[in-house]
A and B are shown apart, each in its own frame.
Chain A
C-alpha cells in the first residue's frame, strides 16, 4: 500500500465547517462600495444610446460607467506567460454587443441594494442584428492549435482501410455546460494610491493573476497583491481575470475607493465561461478479433466573437487505443455566445464521451466483451508524441473493476433485465487525463515551538491541497500532520503554480519534499525533532529553506497520462423517462495516492459532475434573440443529493517516479472523463436505445427504441431480435406492475 499519510481529514475542514473560512466577497474592507453590472439584453448588435441619468440620480449611487466613460485599462500581452485574460476584448471598450448578457456598464453605490436597483435604471437603445447561436447554422473552420498543441494528426491512411470486419461511424453531441461553482465569481479591488492594488478574488492561479492585473494597470507585478485563501470551487473558470474583475479593479482605481462586484447567477451564465457544445464524428474499423484497424475523430466546437477557445476533444484520440491508421481534426465556429473556457477535463471529457460510446457500439457489433475490446486495443505509446507511457496500469483498472463489479455476471442482451418493473442495464467505459507538472516554489520554516510552517502561493479550491502539502511535509520531516501549518493563496508567498490541469499535487509535492530535505540539511539534522532542539539551542527564530520543482528538462522519454475505468448500473422507467444510477465503481491509476480521503472525494466530484452532464446539464439559448433561457440554478440543473448513488473508488498502479519524486500524477479531472459514456452504454444495455446526444433527458428515454436504432442497417438482424425480445419484456413488465 502506498501511503503518505493514509486517509487524513482536511486541514481546512475546521475553518470551513465553522464559517471561519473567508471567501473573496467576505473580506471586511472599510469604506467598501458595491458595484452591480449592467448587461446587454440583445444577442448581437450595437448600443445606439445609453442613458445613465436616472441611475446616477438614484439614492446612494456614486458613479456609473459605460463605454462612453470607460475607466483606464492597458491592453495586456495576453500570452499565458506575462499575462492572460479569459476574454481578449476589454470591458466597455466600444458600443459593440457580441453576445447576450455581455457587460455594458457598471453602477457603483453605497450598498448592494442601491447598486442593483440603479443598474436597472440604465436605459439602453440598441441597433439589433440577428444573433448566431445555433450550432447547426454556424460556419466551421479549421481550429487553431490549443496551447501550442496541434489539433490535427494523421498516421497511416484511414481512407484506404477496406478489409475491416466491422466499421462503424456515428456522431455524438454534447450541449453547452456551465462550470457553475457554488461560489459566484466575486472580486474586491482596493487601491493604495495610484500604483498599488490589492485584489481579493477567487483565482486558481495566484501569480498568473498578479502578473495579469499588473499589466492591465501598467504596474510592476510586485505592486499587485492577490489574496485568495479559499475558493468556492472553480472547475477551470477561476484561473484568470474575467471582464467583471478587470472592470471592478479599473473603477476602484478611478474612484480611489474599494469596490466589490459579485456576479449574479444570471450574469454567471454568460460572463464566467462555459464548455462549448460539441459535435463529434467517430469512425472505427476493426478486424473480427476486435483489433482496431482505423480510428477517425472529427470534432466541431464553438467560440465567442471576442476570444478563441477550442474544446480540445481530440487529445484523447492518440492515447486511448492503438490503430495503424489514425486521423483526427477539429473545427471551430464563431457564434454570438459568451467566451467558452476550461471546464473540468476540457477536451478529455467530451472526447471520451464520443470515443467510449463508439467503442461500446463496436463491442456490441462484434459481440465482444467491451472490457476485452479495450484490453486488446490499449496502446503502450502516445501515438502523436511517439513516446511510451510511464507506469501505465490501464489493464489493472479494467480487470480490478470488472472483478469487483461482477462484470462477468452481466447479461449479454439488451432489454434483458427487469427489476420492479424497470429496465436495468450495466455499462463500462475507460477514463484518462494527461499528467501535467508546473513550476512551483515552496518555503518551509521550522519554528522553535515545535511546529512547521509551509508557505506557497498555490491554492486549494476544494482539492485537498492544504492537506496534501501538510502531509508531504509531515512525512518528509518525520512529524505528525497536526504539527504542520500551511499558508496558501497569497501572492506575497512563493509562486506555487496553478490549480488547474490536475497539476497542483505534481507541482507542489516535489517542491515540498525538497524544501523539507533542505531545511533538515541546513540544520544538519535527520528529522524535525532534532532540528527543533538544535534551533532552540541556537536561539534563532527559525530554520528555513525554499525549494522549486519543475518538469525535467532535456529530451522527453515518456508520455505521462493517468488511466481509469468506470462501471455502473442504471435503471430506466421508460413510461416516465426516468433514469437512475443505482451502482457505481471507479478504478483509477493516478500514480501515488497522497491522501485516500481527499483523492476519493476528487474522483467522486468528477464522477458526479459527469453524471450531471449525462443526465441534465444543458444551457439553452433562444435561437431568435440569442439570449440564454437558462439563467440560474433552477433552470440550469446539476445533481442534487437524490440523484447520486454511493460512488466506490479504488486506486491501482504504482508511484510514477519517472514523472516526479513524489510519484503523483494528479486526480482533479480524470474522474469526470468517460462518465457520460458509461451511463449511455448502460442505458443501451437496459433499453436498446443508443442515445448519441447528451443529456439523456426523459423524452429521449421515452422514445420508442425502434426509432432510435432504425437508421442502423448494420444490425438489422439484431434489430429484429430486439423487437421480438422487447415485446416479451413488455409483457413481463406489465405483469409485474399489475401485481
Chain B
C-alpha cells in the first residue's frame, strides 16, 4: 500500500480504492477527486477541461457509473471502487473500447479521449442494464446494444465535448463495439498517384 504524505494543515486522512489498489493520503476536504488523482496520486490520465462539470474530460467510473470527477470531492469516495483510464487495459491488452477508438480514429489531440472512453464504457453498461435516454421513443422498450441508433449514441455521449471534433470516429467506435458496421474512418482518396 502506497502512502502519500501531505504537509497541508487541515488535511484529513483518506483511503481510496483506485484501479483496484488502496491509496491512502491526507488531503483537504475541498480537494476534488479529479485534483486528487492528478495532483496527489500521479494519475494524470483523467483530464481537466473545465473544472465545472461542463465538458466531461474528467469522466471516471465510480462503482461502475460515470462521474465527472471535477464535481466529486475525494473525501466522499471512500469505500467506493474508482476506475480511471489507467485502469482499463489489462497489462498490455487494451480494453475493447480503447482499441475501437484507435481503429476508428476517434481521437485527435487526445485530451478529451480518456473521458470519452470512460463514458463509452459506462454507456455500454447502461444499455445492457436497459436504461433509456432522453430521446428513447418508448420507455417500455429501451434499445438493445445491437440496435443502438446513431442518435442514441450521440445523445448518450453529449456530456463529453471534443473541440478537435473527433465525434464521427467516436460514434463509429461505439457502433463497432455493439457489433454494427460503421462507415470507414478514412476519406475516399481519388488523388492521382505519385509519379514513379
A residues with CB within 8 A of B: 1-3, 6-7, 9-10, 12-23, 25-26, 28, 59-60, 110-114, 180-184, 230-233, 235, 262, 264-265, 400, 461-464, 591-593, 596-605, 607-609, 632-634, 638-642, 644, 646-655, 657, 663
Q: List 6 A-B contacts (CB under 8 A).
A: A10-B107, A16-B113, A59-B9, A182-B161, A603-B187, A604-B167
Contact status B117-A601, CB under 8 Å: no
> Contacts of B166 on A, CB cut-off 8 Å?
601, 604-605
Q: Sort A-B residue pairs by CB-CB distance and give the 6 closest, nearest first.
A: A19-B45, A232-B111, A462-B109, A16-B110, A462-B108, A608-B165
Give the residue of A9, A21, A60 whose beta carbon is less than 8 angstroms from that of B110.
A21
Given A182-B109, A183-B111, A605:B165 Cβ within 8 A = yes
Contact status B170-A641, CB under 8 Å: yes
Give the residue of A2, A17, A601, A640 whose beta carbon is less than 8 angstroms from that of B102.
A17
Classify the secondary structure of A's interface with B. Answer: loop
Cα A647 to Cα B107 in complex, Å, equals 15
Contact status B54-A634, CB under 8 Å: yes
Which of B30-38, B124-132, B136-144 forms part of the interface with chain A?
B30-38
The smallest beta-carbon distance between B99 and chain A, in angstroms, is 8
Given A182-B57, A641-B157, A1:B165 Cβ within 8 A = no
Contact status B164-A596, CB under 8 Å: no
Cα A607 to Cα B187 in complex, Å, equals 14
Chain B: CB-nearest residue to A17: B98
Contact status A634-B188, CB under 8 Å: no
Contact status A181-B109, CB under 8 Å: yes
Chain A: CB-nearest residue to B57: A182
Given A2-B192, A182-B57, A265:B50 Cβ within 8 A = yes
> Contacts of B10 on A, CB cut-off 8 Å?
59
Give the residue of B9, B98, B113, B194 whose beta carbon is less than 8 angstroms from that of A663.
B194
Cα A597 to Cα B45 in complex, Å, equals 25
Contact status A638-B167, CB under 8 Å: no
Most buried by A among B8, B9, B103, B155: B8
> Contacts of A233 on B, CB cut-off 8 Å?
108-109, 111, 163-164
Cα A710 to Cα B162 in complex, Å, equals 40
Q: Contact residue range for chain B? A: 35 or more
Most buried by B among A7, A235, A607, A640: A640
Cα A511 to Cα B43 in complex, Å, equals 37
Chain A: CB-nearest residue to B102: A13
Cα A407 to Cα B159 in complex, Å, equals 35
Given A12-B110, A113-B30, A598:B105 Cβ within 8 A = yes
Cα A10 to Cα B84 in complex, Å, equals 22
Contact status A653-B191, CB under 8 Å: yes
Cα A554 to Cα B154 in complex, Å, equals 52
> Contacts of A21 on B, CB cut-off 8 Å?
110
> Contacts of A644 on B, CB cut-off 8 Å?
154, 165, 167-168
Most buried by B among A21, A647, A652: A21
Given A17-B117, A264-B51, A652-B191, A183:B109 Cβ within 8 A = yes
> Contacts of B99 on A, CB cut-off 8 Å?
17
Cα A463 to Cα B52 in complex, Å, equals 27
Contact status B109-A265, CB under 8 Å: no
Cα A599 to Cα B186 in complex, Å, equals 8
Cα A17 to Cα B89 in complex, Å, equals 9
Contact status B163-A655, CB under 8 Å: no
Classify the secondary structure of B's interface with A. Answer: loop
Give the residue of B101, B109, B183, B186 whose beta carbon is less than 8 angstroms from that of A17.
B101
Contact status B191-A17, CB under 8 Å: no
Cα A23 to Cα B47 in complex, Å, equals 9
The smallest beta-carbon distance between B143 and chain A, in angstroms, is 16
Chain A: CB-nearest residue to B162: A182
Chain B: CB-nearest residue to A635: B54
- Is B28 part of the contact surface with A, judged by Cβ < 8 Å? yes
- Is B18 part of the contact surface with A, judged by Cβ < 8 Å? no
Give the residue of A14, A184, A599, A639 whose beta carbon is less than 8 angstroms from that of B165.
A639
The smallest beta-carbon distance between A444 and chain B, in angstroms, is 20
Give the residue of B110, B114, B158, B184 whose beta carbon is less than 8 angstroms from that of A641.
B158
Cα A430 to Cα B94 in complex, Å, equals 41
> Contacts of A593 on B, CB cut-off 8 Å?
187, 189, 191
Cα A227 to Cα B153 in complex, Å, equals 37
Cα A22 to Cα B46 in complex, Å, equals 11
Given A17-B107, A462-B109, A605-B108, A651:B189 Cβ within 8 A = yes
Contact status B187-A599, CB under 8 Å: yes
Give the residue of B52, B57, B105, B158 whose beta carbon is less than 8 angstroms from that of A597.
B105
Contact status A601-B108, CB under 8 Å: yes
> Contacts of B109 on A, CB cut-off 8 Å?
181-183, 230-233, 461-462
Contact status B168-A604, CB under 8 Å: yes
Give the residue of A262, A605, A655 whose beta carbon is less than 8 angstroms from that of B164.
A605
Chain B: CB-nearest residue to A21: B110
The smallest beta-carbon distance between A167 and chain B, in angstroms, is 38
Chain A: CB-nearest residue to B172: A646
Chain B: CB-nearest residue to A654: B192
Contact status B45-A649, CB under 8 Å: no
Cα A600 to Cα B101 in complex, Å, equals 15
The smallest beta-carbon distance between A34 and chain B, in angstroms, is 8
The smallest beta-carbon distance between A85 and chain B, in angstroms, is 23
The smallest beta-carbon distance between A340 and chain B, in angstroms, is 18
Cα A159 to Cα B28 in complex, Å, equals 71
Most buried by A among B52, B150, B169: B52
> Contacts of A114 on B, CB cut-off 8 Å?
8
Cα A26 to Cα B45 in complex, Å, equals 9
- Is B185 part of the contact surface with A, judged by Cβ < 8 Å? yes
Cα A593 to Cα B42 in complex, Å, equals 39
Given A462-B108, A641-B154, A641-B160, A400:B114 Cβ within 8 A = no
Cα A598 to Cα B88 in complex, Å, equals 25
Contact status B165-A604, CB under 8 Å: yes
Contact status B55-A633, CB under 8 Å: yes
Cα A600 to Cα B8 in complex, Å, equals 49
The smallest beta-carbon distance between A19 and chain B, in angstroms, is 2
Chain A: CB-nearest residue to B8: A111
Contact status B186-A596, CB under 8 Å: yes
